């Protein structure tokens, strides 16, 4: 898990520094009416952190396998209205949520990393897999969509 913690730590300092170099037009521009702007992508990563904070905690004490609740990512981004939210507020949320993710990961006992969750269609994965998947998802959006 050290690689995940180090990776998240890197991104929570890199992202604000680099986003602040971009203009409001750059972070707000939507590639098309149905695609998210950079602000909305960053907001989506905040939503992902919110969902995963709950998952990372509940998997440790709920009946196994813990069935992951799903969420409609487009509705979350729309209802949170990230497009009209100042980028500074989204950056603060991104930082704080991911600092909390790091704290949660640091406090997971080794034996609980093997606890199981159902990610859908009765596909079982470990908590450790889910944590790595969270990080991979974050990095995908940052590298392929925000800082491409």
In sequence order, the β-bridge partners of residue 66 are: 117
pLDDT greater than 90 at residue 148:
no
Q: What is the pLDDT of residue 130?
A: 98
pLDDT greater than 90 at residue 122:
no
Percent of the chain with pLDDT over 70: 100
Q: What is the pLDDT of residue 107?
A: 98
> What's the pTM?
0.96
145: how many CB neighbours lie within 10 A of its CB?
Answer: 16
Q: What is the pLDDT of residue 47?
A: 98
pLDDT tens digit sequence for 64-78: 999 998 899 999 999
Max Cα-Cα span within the chain: 47
DSSP letters along 25-91, please?
Answer: HHHH--SSTTS--HHHHHHHHHHHHHHHHHHHHHTTTSSSSEEPPP--HHHHHHHHTGGGS-HHHHH
Closest CA to 97 of 35, 36, 47, 38: 47
Distance separating alpha carbons of residues 69 and 93, to the nearest angstrom: 22
Domain of 95: which CATH number? 1.20.120.450
Q: What is the pLDDT of residue 32?
A: 95
pLDDT tens digit sequence for 20-32: 999 999 999 999 9
Q: What is the pLDDT of residue 115?
A: 98
Q: What is the pLDDT of residue 92?
A: 98
**Number of domains present in the structure of the chain:** 1
pLDDT greater than 90 at residue 123:
yes
Domain that holds residue 90: 2-146
| Segment 69-75 long-range contacts (CB within 8 Å, at least 24 positions apart) | 70/120, 71/47, 73/44, 73/47
pLDDT class of 88 with cuts at 50, 70, 90? very high
4: how many CB neighbours lie within 10 A of its CB?
Answer: 20
Kindly state the tokens that stand for 121.
């269609």
Distance separating alpha carbons of residues 91 and 49, to the nearest angstrom: 13
Distance separating alpha carbons of residues 42 and 44, to the nearest angstrom: 5
């Amino acid at each position: 898990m050290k690689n995940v913690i180090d990776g998240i730590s890197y991104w929570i300092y890199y992202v604000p520094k680099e986003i602040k170099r971009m203009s409001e037009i750059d972070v707000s521009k939507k590639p098309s009416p149905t695609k998210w702007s950079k602000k909305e992508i960053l907001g989506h990563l905040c939503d992902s952190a919110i969902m995963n904070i709950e998952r990372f905690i509940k998997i440790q004490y709920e009946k196994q396998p813990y069935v992951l609740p799903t969420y409609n990512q487009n509705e979350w981004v729309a209802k949170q209205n990230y497009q009209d939210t100042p980028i500074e507020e989204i950056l603060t949320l991104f930082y704080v949520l991911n600092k909390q993710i790091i704290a949660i990961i640091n406090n997971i006992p080794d034996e609980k990393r093997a606890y199981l969750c159902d990610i859908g269609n009765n596909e079982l994965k470990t908590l450790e897999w889910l944590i790595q998947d969270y990080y991979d998802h974050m990095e995908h959006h940052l590298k392929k969509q925000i800082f491409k």
